[in-house]
Structures are given as C-alpha cells and as structure tokens.
Chain A
Amino acid sequence: MSDAPNDIVIELKDVHKAFGAQKVLRGVHLQVREGTTLVIVGASGQGKSVILKHMLGLVKPEQGEVLVFGRDLTRIRAREVKEIRTHFGVLFQNAALFDSMTVFDNVALPLRERTKVGEERIRASVMEKLDLMDLLGAEDKYPAQISGGMRKRVGLARALMLNPRVVFFDEPTTGLDVHKSNEIYRLFHRTQQQLKYTAVIVSHDVPKIFKLADTVALLAEGVIQGCMSPEEFQLAENPLIREFVETTMGPIYSSDKEESILYETL
C-alpha cells in the first residue's frame, strides 16, 4: 500500500453527517499526507471528534467519501475496515483504558490479541514502551489508581504498541495542567521522530499545538474553513479563521500567565 501513487493517507470528500435534527458536518473536505501532523481545531461541539470517528470508521457519513489508504471506508466490508485499522493507533479523549485490567495488561492487549508473540517477548516490549513513557513502576496498577496524565501516557503506549502508520489523538491534553500537557507533547514529538507515523490531532490547546503541526485545519459551521500551515493559518484572511485566532490566542496566553503565577506561589 505504501507504493500508492500519492502520499495522501486519509481523504475526506464532501462528508455530511447529522445526529437527529442537528447537522454536524456539512460537506467536509480534508486531506492528510503521509508522515505529517494534521491538527484539527475548532470550538467545542463543532464536531471535531466526529471527523475523527469518520476516519476511524466508527461513524458512517450520510453523504460523501472517507478514503483511507485509497479505500472508501463507507463502501468496503467490515473485514477490510478491520484490516485498515491494524495500521491505526488511537489515543482517546478519556484514554479509554480497560478499567478492569492493569496498566501492563492494557498495553499488552494489542500484542496478545493481534499477534502470536510469546508471553516473554510481550513482557519485554511492554516494559520497553512503559519505560519510554516514564511509566515504570505503574504496570501493576489499575487505571483508576493513576492520574489523568499517566492514563494518557498509558493510552499512548497502547496506541503505539504495534507501530501504527497513523495515530489519532482526540484532545490529548484536555484536562491536564501545563506541565503534564508539555510532557505529552514531548512524548508525542519523541515517538513520532522514532516511529515516523502520520498524526491526526484534534485539539483546542491552540498556540502550543501549532508548534507540532505541519497543517492546521479549522472546523467551523460544519465545514473545514482552511487547511494550511500554522504560519499561514495565523495570518489567514478568512474571517472565521481570523476570529478564531483572535479569540483563542488571547485568553490562552493570559491563562498561561495565571497558571505560572499559581506555580510560583505554591
């Protein structure tokens, strides 16, 4: 599949989706190129996660095409969708760890269920991934016993377990403080350098996420308002993008300041 004529990994063409009477997506066009990082931004409730769910094949559009590795997820059989998903890694918004399993078993699950690797080698590679995520010592804990930031790191370790080609991040830093989110970004950067995966990130951690992005797309009013590099995005003419940049950049910088004051006083 890597010898595809172009380097577009995922492409959404004119995707429409409504939940009941509420029209969420009204003709979304989007392309993700191999090895790059696409960040989808937008106000809450605009359907950013819905776009992600379309790419994962969890939700079917009413109209339009979702092409992953050149194949239309809406038209192929469930088995092929499953085959495509073997190239995916997903970090869910709430990490979606299996809460009745230990951290170790969570990270080991993809290996146990999808490969025939022996238990010894599973142990070695799980410990290696946990080490990479600074999680050594937490392997026997249950998800409810660890902090939110650790849970995200476990989720990331699990997502990267089988060296996926594409990794999806749904709000990777929501609910984390500045230090913890920087930690996640650092791990993201390090693992992407190492494993060379394509990343699709849904986030509204706006100024910071731009440093990681190759492309930024704004979802507003059910369509993608512009898909461009972070620099172009910040200078874009489109009134909706301008409004987004102006409203989000301001408050977030000031909240940074507030938080750093908080840390100094502690």
Chain B
Amino acid sequence: MVQFLEKLGDQCLHLLEQLGRMGIFLFACLWCVVKPPYKIFPIIRQIHFIGSRSIFVIFFTGAFTGMVLGLQGYYTLRKFGSEGLLGSAVALSLIRELGPVVAALMVIGRAGSAICAEIGIMRNSEQIDALECMAIDPYKYLMAPKFVAGVLSMPLLTALFDVVGILGGWLIGVVLLGINEGTYFQAMYASVEWQDIKMGLVKSLVFGLLLIWIAAAKGYFLHFERGGGFGAEGVSRTTTDAVVLSSVAVLLWDYLISAIML
C-alpha cells in the first residue's frame, strides 16, 4: 500500500515537474519571439518547412475529407428530404471542426514529429549545450522562428483545407450526385457566419502554438525523459510521445474552445 502511494506520488510529482518545465519553456519562447533582434530569414525558412511543405498533404486530406462529407452528408440528409442543406453541412463542419483539427493532426505528423526529432538529436549530441556555450540563446535561435512560423502557417493551412474540402463536397454533391449548384452554395452563404469563421481561426491559431510547443519542448527536454532519453531509441520514443501528446492536446483543446465559443 505504502509502495503504491509512493509510486503514485512520484508519478504526480514527475507530471507536475514536467508541466512546470513546459510552462516555463513556453514563456521563454514567447518572450524570445517578441524580444529583438528580429531575424526574418530563419522565420521564412521555418514557414517553408512547416507551412509550404505541408500544402500537398493538406490539399489531399482536405479534398478527401470534403468528398467523404459530401457523400455521407448527402445520404443522411436525403433521409429527411433535405439534401439542399448539404452545402451548409459540409461548410460548417469543415470550418468549425474538421478543418482546424485534421489540418493540425496532419501538421503534427509532418512537422511536429520532425521538429521534436531534430531538437532531440541536437540535445543528444550536445549541440544545444554548444549553442549555450557560444552564448547563443537556443530559445531565440532555435525556438522563436518555429513558434512564429507555426502560428502563422496553421491558419493559412486550415483555410486551404476548408476551401479544398468545400470544393470536394461540391464535386461529390453537385457533380456526382446531382444537387443543384446554386442550392449548394446558397445554403452555405445562408448558414456560415463570421462567428463560425472566427472559431475556426482561433482554433487553428491555438493548435499551431500547441503543436510547436509540445514538439519543441519534448525534444528540448529529452534528457529529462523518464527511462532515459538517450540515443536513437530515446529520440524515437520521445518523438512518438510528442506526436501522441500533441494529437490528444489538439482534440482536448478543440472541445474546450468549442464549448467556450458556441
């Protein structure tokens, strides 16, 4: 019994410690984002990596998500004789929920894992220590451009996802299943409001911050990982953890933001 309590306490302390560390990490990074000097080139490079190189995968997942929504929505709505509302159903579910969430999950898989592994390897091979010894702030040099790039890229990627998804829904609903094109888009105009777009925007901004934060912090604190964050295996395990954790965090925050903003 005592042993169980000891273990429980140990776990809780570890969790608390980790949370505290990550919180301080976030503040340090955000402080470095606003602190001069500003360097534009590293940010552009990170936007290229996190943003533009994700366009392809966002395009495809967006198209298929929209197509599936069109298909499923059509058959469901037809039961109630209201397939005319397909445009509204597709657009609302994409803009409010699926756009930000699926785009974030894709970016986690593509860029989040890469960021975690990159920083983890730098930590493992003393490159971060080397930066510190050279009096170069790793937060400013490594983290700040990634945070700026993540927060800038996510809303844009989400917007792209939404547009491609809506066109995917149109392809299925209008071209394939024969809903009237005017009805499809009219339903959309009538139901989508600024409130919905704002919710999607807030979500994508939060997710962008969240996924970079978790990936970067996990890699940065690799040496504090339980069970040893050493070597290739340590990096791979931590990267997996980071992907799982940030995916769960995205879904959790998705619920929280929806609950607050609806």
Contacts and interface: CB of A to CB of B under 8 A. Distances in A.
| Binding partners A and B | yes
A158 B133 CA distance: 11
Interface string A175-210: 000000000000000000000000000000000000
B136 A110 contact: yes
A70 B78 CA distance: 81
Interface stretch (A21-29, A30-38, A90-98, A239-247): A90-98
A56 B133 contact: yes
A241 to B, nearest CB: 30
Interface stretch (A60-68, A80-88, A123-131, A250-258): A80-88
B17 interface: no
Interface stretch (B55-63, B102-110, B123-131): B123-131
A113 B132 CA distance: 12
Chain B interface, >50% SS class: helix
Nearest to A155: B130
10 contacts: A85-B132, A86-B135, A92-B129, A94-B125, A94-B126, A96-B130, A97-B130, A99-B121, A110-B134, A113-B134
Contacts of B141: 113
B133 A109 contact: no
B10 interface: no
A99 B133 contact: no
Given A58-B129, A92-B129, A96-B127, A85 B134 contact: yes
Nearest to A93: B126
Interface residues of A, number: 22
Chain A interface, >50% SS class: mixed
Residue of B121, B132, B135 with most partner-chain A CB within 10 A: B135
A117 to B, nearest CB: 14
Nearest to B134: A110
B137 interface: yes
Contacts of B136: 109-110, 113-114
Contact of A114 (B130, B132, B135): B135
Nearest to B121: A99
A168 to B, nearest CB: 8
Nearest to B122: A98
Interface string A68-83: 0000000000000011
Contact of B130 (A82, A83, A86, A92): A92
Contacts of A113: 134, 136, 141
A167 B129 CA distance: 15
Contacts of B137: 82
A58 B128 CA distance: 11
Residue of A85, A96, A109, A158 with most partner-chain B CB within 10 A: A96
Nearest to B137: A82
Nearest to A85: B135
Nearest to A116: B37
Given A56-B129, A58-B133, A158-B134, 11 more contacts: A85-B132, A86-B135, A88-B134, A92-B129, A92-B130, A96-B126, A96-B127, A98-B130, A99-B127, A113-B136, A114-B136
Nearest to B140: A113
A98 B129 contact: no
B220 to A, nearest CB: 14
Interface string B141-171: 1000000000000000000000000000000
Nearest to A86: B135
7 nearest CB pairs, A to B = A96-B130, A85-B135, A96-B126, A90-B133, A86-B135, A113-B136, A82-B135
